Structure 1
Amino acid sequence: MSRVVCAGHVNWDVTLHVDDLPDPDGEAAITHQSQAGGGSASNTATALAGLGIDVSLLGSVGDDQYATLARDELDSVGVDCSALKSVSGETTVKYIVVDEDGEVFVFANEGVNEAYDADDLAEETLAAADRLHLTSQDPSTAADLAKRARKRSIPVSFDPGRRLDTRAYDDLIREVDLLFLNEREADAVESLLETREFPTVIKRGNGGATVRSPDGRITHEGFDVDASDTAGAGDAFAAGYLASVLRGRSVRDALADANACGALAVQSPGARVDLSLSAVERYRRDH
């Protein structure tokens, strides 16, 4: 069975759905609230596990109750946490506010979700991987991990997320064999994308997604869905795409599977969605 190593943030998310975003000194009603694990690496790892892919997670948590909750949740879905580092300090907690249109606003404490480095990933864990998937993290750590993977001819994918415009990811953007960006991110680094020799997957939310490569473009128009919570949708999309590629499916099918995963995610509260191969196949069949 294929194995992926996901590296990046492991958080605890507190999600509040509100009926409106208040003006200063105003007030809004909370219509739903929940707590669960979060962080792009953690989200992608759990989605991959649900899709039947063996997955290991490299990241760091603190020594508090949120670390225990995060570990227990990851263990329960079959994510290998042997590379998850525990350090003294606070696990990163993110407070996610979701408005009535499904748009997401994030507030976070600094936490310890970057208190690991490339050497915390055991050589035998990396050697057993069919892919290394990097998400938002310290650029030097990401670069070191990518260098180790390339020495073993292990493919590297990267989904930089919200911090793309504030961190020095240029070399990774040029070099990784598979890059995931949304439209805003792609516009911000268009000059770098023009120099890439490898595929870039551009996510357009309800508008589907496109794979750009030197050989041309392949597009899937996505699914018409009313989003109730967009948190974690990009991570679910990446997991769906990676799982399909690892199973040898075509780029078109991988895009369709990824869009189905994203569609399922935006209809679920919080950054986590209960994915399975049967759920993805059923969604594609019914839509």
Structure 2
Amino acid sequence: MVDVLTAGHVNWDVTLRVDRLPEPDGEAAIRSQRQSGGGSAANVATALSGLGLEAGLVGSVGDDDNGLLARRELEDAGVSLDGLRVVPDADTAVKYLLVDDGGEVAVLGNDGVNEAVGPEDLDDSRIRDADHVHLTSQRPETAARIATVASEAGSTISFDPGRRLADRDYGETLAAADVLFANDREVAALLEDEYVGSAFGDRVLVVKHGSDGAKVHTPDGSYDHPGFDVDTVDTAGAGDAFAAGFIASTFAYDDVERALEYANACGALTARREGARSAPTAEAVAAFLGDRY
């Protein structure tokens, strides 16, 4: 049994720090290169574990070297991998992250097998045993099945659909979610179609503004937090750390304003370090917030 079950992509990241993001027919100089695990579901699970929650993961990797490295890193972080599918003779999804001197990120990726989990591969008992389920980008039918099982079991559900929101039909999952995470661009997509009722209505909508903080809309009102002024090194994974922080704080306190501040602290601390797996520990967040938390 876990506190939070995350579901979605598990990747292997290759981060290239460059002097600038290249333009068409342009060239950039590589300053450094590093590799680590990635993928939103895996990032959130790892961050939650660092914040003191028991986290599990539903996703898929290949049986190649990158998949082995990704699994080892997750195990070392304390994430339960009972729901991770290892696909024989397949390649783990690899994302190449270009990070410029200002911390801005561009992503290249191969197809890989990070969406090999279908509804027929799910263990419903594992979903029912979680107190909270956090869904990220994945096959819509898989996300919908997880959301349905979790909802019927009385678990709370959060959903961060990511940049592919406009290209996929996530209607069932959005309708079941108690909490939605989205950035400004994704909110615009929500407002332009039938999901608007699900986005606002009786649900919590958390809008991420990057370095400008975030805003949360609830049935009882809306709250802003301006974020924290930090020296940005790498924004990769900051949104995932933000989501983990919001979830972890709401586990401890029934206070969305407090959760918003805590989430912004997690995002800011992640952006100060290199790599998508640089989310802070609970102790680091407490030290950063001091008397504010």
Give the TM-score range, shorter chain: over 0.9
- Say yes or no: does 1:284 pair with 2:253: no
- Aligned with 1:193 (options 186, 193, 196): 196
Q: Deviations over 1:233-281 (max 9, x none)?
A: 1100000000011112411111111000000111111111142111111
SS of equivalent residue, structure 2 residue 108: strand
Q: Which amino acid aligns with 1:272?
A: R
Question: Could you say which residue in structure 2 is the equivalent of 1:82?
Answer: 82
Aligned length: 287
Distance 1:244 1:119, change over 3 A: farther
Counterpart contact for 1:85–1:116, Cα < 8 Å: yes
Question: Could you say which residue in structure 2 is the equivalent of 1:172?
Answer: 173
- Say yes or no: does 1:159 pair with 2:164: no
Question: Could you say which residue in structure 2 is the equivalent of 1:230?
Answer: 235
Counterpart contact for 2:127–2:146, Cα < 8 Å: no
SS of equivalent residue, structure 2 residue 74: helix
Taking the aligned partners of 2:127 and 2:80, their CA distance within structure 1 comes to 13
Q: Report the alpha carbon displacement of residue 107 of structure 1 after superposing the two structures with TM.
A: 0.5
Question: Could you say which residue in structure 2 is the equivalent of 1:31?
Answer: 31
Q: Report the alpha carbon displacement of residue 25 of structure 1 after superposing the two structures with TM.
A: 4.4
Q: Deviations over 1:178-235 (max 9, x none)?
A: 1000111112212533453211011111111111122210121211123221111110
SS of equivalent residue, structure 1 residue 83: strand
Question: Could you say which residue in structure 1 is the equivalent of 2:69?
Answer: 69
Q: TM-score under structure 2 normalisation?
A: 0.93
Q: Report the alpha carbon displacement of residue 174 of structure 1 after superposing the two structures with TM.
A: 3.2
Question: Could you say which residue in structure 1 is the equivalent of 2:50?
Answer: 50
Taking the aligned partners of 2:190 and 2:124, their CA distance within structure 1 comes to 33
Distance 1:175 1:122, change over 3 A: closer
Q: Report the alpha carbon displacement of residue 119 of structure 1 after superposing the two structures with TM.
A: 4.1
Question: Could you say which residue in structure 2 is the equivalent of 1:208?
Answer: 213
Q: Report the alpha carbon displacement of residue 118 of structure 1 after superposing the two structures with TM.
A: 3.4
Question: Could you say which residue in structure 2 is the equivalent of 1:123?
Answer: 124
- Say yes or no: does 1:218 pair with 2:219: no
Q: Which runs of 5+ in 2 are unaligned?
A: none
Q: Report the alpha carbon displacement of residue 103 of structure 1 after superposing the two structures with TM.
A: 1.2
Q: TM-score under structure 1 normalisation?
A: 0.95
Q: Report the alpha carbon displacement of residue 93 of structure 1 after superposing the two structures with TM.
A: 0.3
Q: Report the alpha carbon displacement of residue 120 of structure 1 after superposing the two structures with TM.
A: 3.2
Counterpart contact for 2:18–2:101, Cα < 8 Å: yes
Alignment of 1:72-151 (within 5 A): 72-88=72-88, 89-151=90-152
Q: Report the alpha carbon displacement of residue 285 of structure 1 after superposing the two structures with TM.
A: 2.3
Q: Which runs of 5+ in 1 are unaligned?
A: none
- Aligned with 1:256 (options 261, 264, 267): 261
Question: Could you say which residue in structure 2 is the equivalent of 1:11?
Answer: 11
Taking the aligned partners of 1:134 and 1:38, their CA distance within structure 2 comes to 15
